[in-house]
Structure 1
Amino acid sequence: MKFRETFFTVVLFSVLGLTWSFTEDRSSVQTFVRQLTATIQDNKVMLQWVDAQGGTGPVYIYRKIISSGSSVPQDLDPVQVPRGVQSYIDPIESDGLRSYLVLASDANGVPYTVRIPNTNYIEIDVKKTPLPLSKSDSKYQNISSLKTEVQKDSIIISFTLNGSETKSIQPLVLYRSTQPIRYVQDLVQAVIVQGGITSSPYIDYPVPDIPYYYALVFEDDIKQGNLRLEGGKNVTLIPAEVPAGTFRIGLPGPQKDIRSIPLPLLSVTATVPGALNTIQVPVFALPLSPEASKAVSALPFPEPKKAALKKPRVFSQDLNAIGGGEEFTLRSIVQGAFNNRDWNSVIEQLVRFLSLPRSSTIEARSRFYLGQAYYMTGKYREALFEFLLMKNLYPAEAREWIQSILPLLDSRGM
């Protein structure tokens, strides 16, 4: 009976014209991607799929195209996509019929050669169409590509606009994240590396031994809320990682005889080879001699001066009734809760306001007001961090508040 079931299964796949080749691993775990779909937008084919349960390695995309007027398929270079991305954008260079085979792979990167139509294999007829430029601006630019390259202790981020241009008319904002960036909401967890970028390339010096993803957007798109993220275009699909302990800022690996902070163990053997790594610490404090006690009691101990608290301050541009979008929202908070000294409400509104990506200047001013609200409620540690985050754009204003906070932290023993 078992032989008969196997025979009919083989005959069924032969009739349907499907090829299903098994690797040496014949486990019951699913080893093929599924729900493969293809959509066309702006002269690009967007592929999306669901990763295989048993595929722990990268995903391979095999492409073929039969150009218009030809019957011979042409093989295109295969593409490798990290597991978890589950999407790929293929630019349309010419008209014709395209076929895509998306294969999962094992931990060693060996593909599972399974081909199932409408599951991990799909065909689509494509046609390249001219894209109109902006009606209001003949100098409109689009980000065409975003690439990363690791060089020693840095990551070189290069981009092109309108196909080959490397100079941007409008300022750009670069984001960095340790997680893949697929949707606009993913930018909330990302870090703004630099704003006001107008030329390629840009050099980033991140913490080594951590994989990073990057996204590049126009500042105006952030202000107007018109952000669009496209993998392979203005978002990197493959993470870039600086190796640890190799170059100038490379971090060495942890030593075996060093505990993690905040309780480090002094490594005597690293300083004096052959010495015993033992430190004798007295079990109890030794009393001072009578002479030492007398000298200490004679020392003057002046009363610490109580630091004068600063008064709230507002930027002049946040008092003028001009501008819209995020400018209007920030101005409403400043002229409302901040002006009324409702500090808890200011903290709540600004934290919610900063939960979305903002332009560099708006974010800096928002953190300036948030730091003041923390300061006025006695949360000096939180205030210090906010002023440190905005000091690059407004160094003089941040320095005044930081100098006022440090004595207050010292008086509390923080």
Structure 2
Amino acid sequence: MTGSTRGLFRAASLRPILALLMVMMVVPMVSGQEDAGADTTDHGGSIFAPFVSRLRISTRDPEIRLTWKDSEDVDGACRIYRHTSEINAETFLDAELVAQVESGVQSFIDAPAHPGDYYYGVFAESAAGSLYEIFIPYRNTTFAPVTVANVATLAERSAHIRGIQAVENDGVILVEYESDQVGRELIVYRSTSPFTAPDDLLSAGIVATVMSTVESVIDYPVPGVPYYYGVVDSALVAEGSAVFEPGGNATETSVEIPLPTAAAALQPEPEPETTSEPVEQQPDETSASPQVASVPQGTPEPVEVVEQPEEPAEAEPAQQVFVPEISRRRPLPLPFLQLNTDLQTGDRLGDAVITVADPQSISSTTQAALDEMLGRLTPRSPESLRPEILPEDTLPSPHGAEFTLRTILDGPIANLAWEDALLQLNNFLSLPLSSDVRSRALFYRAQCFYFTGETARAFVEFLLARDAHFAEAEGWLDVILGSSAGA
């Protein structure tokens, strides 16, 4: 067993302790809410958790997307509240009720009317309609604010490109265009096929990523190959809503750098040089010495007129041209420096050891509650596993990159066509995606690797997706580690 695997098993051994701490935190909260208007009395000595969990927030200005997991102990609707401060018992009265959704929906899209920082809380209702005012950060309330920077849609604030031109000049391709926005990030693409649809980006290469103040880019493509160019706002590419207009942000005709032999043939032959003996110019004897003309008396002296230099015209601002650096590349990564001795004293440093507190005995009530909670967790057998779809990918009306991902989920993944799903996900992940969409695509690709028997690659992919989808990825990691341990 490798060191990293031992570390994972060591981390897994801490889960009962974390679960215990969560139970000890939740039970006082529930018992302390008896005057909140909802029924929180004892339910046969079992755990009663009338609150949602796994509240997750994602933003796509001007929309804020909320997903959560309903409580198993109540069947009532959920109310969504919004506030400019963290929602707790002191600030709840000033929170704004945004919406009420039925049980089982487990998602909502909010669009605040003004930019700013917002906090959210999702609270469950009892069957009688009473609200369970229980505040648990990271479970049913947000601890950090969600920032809405702009209420305008992405299409309204993105840069629109027009007048694109690509010309060959002395062995390079100069791409010129105009942008109607400042402060936007643009991506310049190159392809051997014309740009007509967003899917054309899958076979295109990125020439440069520049700000919208740069309106000229120099490219060094392979000579002898005709290329087309396109420029688009990077945010539109990440959303999957990039649109190409021939003659606007995409070239209508291809351009190529001539091959060296063809370029030499096109150049006219230089005319033969003729040499001749230089002819010495004989000085004119009459002009050997300067002649001074006599000026009659009384004639006014001529006035010397000095021409004034013209004032230079006001210089136009120089156009910014992006020239890529093609030689400054480090072929190998630098080695990791691990210090074993103190740099000042020379004393040997001890190994870093993570200490764990000594186990403490718990009360019988807490032990019974913990046993019941762990009893609900039935082990997942590899044979019974099915594709798992994240709550974010059940929201209505996806568009852009999320629509493309949804077609993969509803197509090859729903039909258990894992090889086809892997091919489409690989192409999808080659696009510049937002971190949220990319983590979800990695989660689904990890499942494809698992069902095709590539558990090692699936394990790595689940680790990459775990930061954004911890609870879902952990279950799959447990299955992989369990099957590896039993092998």
Where on the TM-score scale, by shorter chain, does this alignment land: which range?
0.3 to 0.5
Structure with larger RCO (C-alpha < 8 A, sep 6+): 2
Structure with more strand by fraction: 1
- TM-score norm. by structure 2 comes to 0.29
Q: Which structure has the larger Rg?
A: 2
- TM-score norm. by structure 1 comes to 0.33
